[in-house]
Amino acid sequence: MEIRRQNDIIAFRAPGELPVAFHARNLEVADISEELWNTLGGVEDSELQSVLNEWNSEINPAVTTHKLAREIRSLTINVTQICNLKCTYCAAGGDGTYGAAQTKISVEKTLPQLKFFLDKLPDSGTFRIGFIGGEPLLYPEGIRAIANYVKLMTAGRNLRAQFAIVTNGTLLSDANVELLKEINCNVSVSIDGAAEYNDISRPMKNGQGSTALVIEGLKKLFAVKSELGSITLHGVFTAQNMNLVKAYEFYRQFPADTYEFTYSVSDLNQEASDSFTREMREVAAIAYSQGGEEALRKINFFNRVFSALDSQRRTENFCGAGKSLLVVDARNNLFSCPWDVGNASEKVGQGSEVSEAALDKYAQPLIEQNNCQSCWARFLCGGGCMFVHKEATGSKNQKNGQFCERQRTLMETAILYFKKCRQTDIQKDSDYGKH
């Protein structure tokens, strides 16, 4: 892939294809002529240079920016800090405990905590609860109690309650699936592909494989799919398993709504990072060839980029950590990020007490905190994952170069596929324009 850039105009060219330009600030995609491509490459042409200057300086009033105010609308709750698996890449203390095992959260302490945050919200919008662990389905009674309380507290208010869970899928019993139906839960099941890969990376604590149990649970989930929210199959890939294409082929046998491919948050292997982007591009090629835009958008990464380009909505924050999102650990401590659990220095509160001073450091948009203003992908990326940055550099606001490289490479790919999917809508010759 060849890339040329002039200020906020970036042009990409894949082998054997016509060049495509992207306006980083306006989130516009356009086909461009050979002449304009050459001008971006340094060929002198005063008329076309004027065209580039005009497009670069243009302010498109249709473009909006997704801004996050300090209003907690999402709580991620560690209902347990124990797990029945021992995943090889576990970043939660290696065993789901975050270094401090806790069998289950105290519902009695959690309900007043929920009330504290709910009382602060106006009667509009959505209040989101995410259940995580450890393995959250080790404590289904706690999930039910919390969900029922939130539903009760939002009843009669123009405030929508939404629930999600991240589970390893081994405990999807009839009773637990019924619980997820009751709360119309969005379900993300972690599975890294077929048994030959997943059993190695995600074994049970006794060393046995977990895949057969997960597949049985998935069958139960998909049998009641219409009564749930969304179902996502989520894989984590490391230097020991970079078989994304095989994972994608495995996932496609199930009628999931979305697929999520994640590079391990703590893996700093450059060769593995490069392999991840190559595999993701191959997955994209397979998806596009077999199902066009619909298949591409079942992959979360591409769906997010397509949505941003369609809506021309800029992202200033990779996530809502410390702004719209807080995390409640199994001891009712508050953190800004799920991966901060267990790190006392990152604690921002306890129970119904929140340190405004601790949250002040998250007030600025991430693209500003992380000095991303010169990156062409800034409004698609939003500054990147703070935990991933910290794992590599020791600071949440000092960028992980590998992460940035992966993001930009995959966004180039997404933009090119966006152009292909919108080909009939994009008509550009030697001038600039909008999709």
pLDDT in tens for each of the 435 residues of the chain? Answer: 899 999 999 999 999 889 999 999 999 999 999 999 999 999 999 999 999 999 999 999 999 999 888 899 999 999 999 999 999 999 899 899 999 999 999 999 999 999 999 999 999 999 999 999 999 999 999 999 999 999 999 999 999 999 999 999 999 999 999 999 999 999 999 999 999 999 999 999 999 999 999 999 999 999 999 999 999 999 999 999 999 999 999 999 999 999 999 999 888 999 999 999 999 999 999 999 999 999 999 999 999 999 999 999 999 999 999 999 999 999 999 999 999 999 999 999 999 999 999 999 999 999 999 999 999 999 999 999 999 999 999 999 999 999 999 999 999 999 999 999 987 444 433 344 433
Measured distance CA(239)–CA(272) in Å, rounded = 5
Structure tokens at 222: 């998909």
d(CA 246, CA 243): 5
Predicted confidence at residue 266, as pLDDT, reads 85
**Alpha carbons 403 and 422: distance in angstroms, whole number:** 28
Give the Cα separation of 77 and 64 in Å (integer).
31
CA 314 from chain center: how many Å?
16
Residues 6+ apart with CB under 8 A from 347: 333, 334, 335, 340, 358
pTM of model > 0.85:
yes
pLDDT at 426: 45
What is the pLDDT, as a whole number, of residue 423? 76
The helix (run of H) or strand (run of E) holding residue 69 is none
3-state DSSP helix/strand/coil percent for the chain, to nearest 5? 40, 20, 40
Q: How many CA atoms lie within 13 A of 169 on its CB side?
A: 30
What is the rounded distance in angstroms from the CA atom of residue 95 to the CA atom of residue 241?
A: 19
Distance, in Å, from the CA atom of 202 to the CA atom of 196, rounded to the nearest integer, reads 11
What's the pLDDT at 80? 98
* Cβ proximity of 296 and 248 under 8 Å: no
Dist. CA 51–CA 280, nearest whole Å: 35
At residue 67, the pLDDT reads 87
Domains of the chain: 1-62+366-435 (no CATH), 71-315 (3.20.20.70)
Locate 40 and state its tokens.
């971006």
